[in-house]
Structure 1
């Protein structure tokens, strides 16, 4: 890479040939940036695909506040392990199946959501046993190894009886199909999963804590800046790093939003770099407590 572009990744450097409007559009897009904590989570999820099939398959629960990047990690894991079609056998294989827990979960709603995802919605009068058997048959046929469930804390919206039924359903699917479960949710999701002791014991917990003033946070900011197409490098002082952390309250989504907003301002002004002065003057437009996941 040319020395003048050594502050950027190759993909970001290529964007420098585009118009300001195209660069701004690229900055605003929801783009994947790999940082150590996300890589650690993805590497751990990847090991589930290599597990020999058996009873009591290992599972993983990833917890974190809203805006800590859980959904982005989930989508990346799913996209890294897409369905494949074997034309010789005429068979579709889907190693990772990802769904979202319904807002008021119950056994029927859970299976209805699962069957819709599998492309096999059931007739309105189908009973739960028929829906269950259809889901088992299809999931076994397409070779599901990992069932990913986002927003698992929604289980808590149901009554105690409904919560137990849904948890029993998850344990049943894992046992019958010999698949691993991956659950994503806010920190309260621990309470949801702990409602079934046998199920909870299978879960390794991985927590996405809010960022603190340490090397990991500096690596995150550096990764974002290296993927941000500005002509000049942004060299930030420790005071600026502390201000970023203070304003965003350590929420990943807010950190991305702040740096992206500053980068766009740098393009519009023609400065082509984020400066300490810009960080000092920047005012947040987001509500920290309403950060997106």
Structure 2
């Protein structure tokens, strides 16, 4: 067994596992802390500290596919799973029946819907759950699909969102979506002025990006150092990922798996070429097509 100094101490044993086990490790999703997201998590923390206000604040974190929304959602669920400030998450991915936003929320909190139960009864039941189980916020994934598909859904969903944020529920809404969700929210002045709009940005060749690559490498069960944060490799990864978070991770996964299969045991520049999308497909991964970045404007 080598020292494997390029791997986290608690994970160095993984480099001596069989190829199949190491391939599975490479394919796993992992959370890499990055300073570029610290301001976002700090703002969310302040949003959740909103007591004694007429209406709870809301937040829309938006970006195109592959900008890292799913990873942020999963991290928030872990951070606020217990304690006196808990978050309940819902998303269109769980909705196979194209249900209304109201139905998804009731289902998430275990509130059974029936023709005999009216809105006041549902509100009372939800309030009881929020107070006894210490939920202070609702996390809504893919808002553009969950509640804004049709004009009728938009009207009903916006009305429901106002109701949830007002008394007696006073529930903070942390929403994730794309530009379509932002456009719909901005149509309603009452909602729009209470929302913080936070755009997710593409990666660029900066310190945060270098740190991300260097940290990611410490989780890979490869027997030799790849020096991912080195100038040549990091620029090549950025070029073919188009700065898209999802693409960066998929390229790293595919190249690390290929490094094991080929016996190279390190990620090399020769793997990341115009054929990188085919290499990703070989290992069951699909790159997101390049799209122009969303302008980075924050504010209410």
Normalised by the length of structure 2, the TM-score is: 0.81
1:180 to 152, 172, 185: 172
Aligned 8 A contact 1:68 1:252 in 2 = yes
Alignment of 1:1-293 (within 5 A): 4-83=3-82, 95-100=86-91, 109-154=100-145, 155-159=147-151, 161-176=152-167, 177-236=169-228, 237-280=230-273, 282-284=275-277, 285=281, 286-289=286-289
How much has 1:287 moved relative to structure 2?
4.5
Aligned length: 280
Identify if the C-alpha distance between structure 1 residues 64 and 178 changes in structure 2 by more than 3 Å, giving closer, same or farther: same
Q: What residue ranges of structure 2 are gaps of 5+ in the alignment?
A: 292-300
SS at match of 1:156: coil
Shift of 1:202: 1.8
Instruction: Give the gaps of 5 or more residues in structure 1.
Output: 85-92
Question: Paired residue for 1:88?
Answer: none
Instruction: Report if aligned partners of 1:211, 1:251 keep a CA contact under 8 Å in 2.
Output: yes
Cα separation, partners in 2 of 1:83 and 1:119, compared to 1, 3 Å: farther
Secondary structure of the residue that 2:135 maps to in structure 1? coil
Q: 1:51 to 1:131 in 2, by over 3 A?
A: closer
| Residues 17, 49 of structure 1: alpha-carbon distance in 2 compared, 3 angstrom cutoff | farther
Query: Is contact 1:101–1:151 with CA below 8 Å preserved after alignment?
Result: yes
Question: What TM-score do the two structures reach when normalised by structure 1?
Answer: 0.83
Which string of whole-angstrom CA distances, capped at 9 and with x for unpartnered residues, describes residues 29-63 of structure 1? 22222222334433332333444343233332211
Q: Tell me if structure 2 keeps the 8 A contact 1:105–1:166.
A: no
CA distances 1:135-180 after superposition (whole Å, capped 9, x unpaired): 3333333222111111111233121x43133112112211112232
Greater Cα shift, 183-192 or 220-229: 220-229
CA deviation profile, 1:161-212 (whole Å, cap 9, x unmatched): 4313311211221111223221111122211211221212122222111222
Counterpart of 2:298 in structure 1 is: none
Residue deviations 1:118-137, cap 9 Å, x none? 12222255444443443333
Tell me, in whole angstroms, the C-alpha distance in 1 between the residues paired with 2:195 and 2:215.
30
Listed one character per residue, the Cα deviations across residues 234-259 of structure 1 (whole Å, up to 9, x for unaligned) are 12553433332222222111111111
SS in structure 2 at match of 1:98: strand
Range 61-70 or range 16-25, more displaced = 16-25
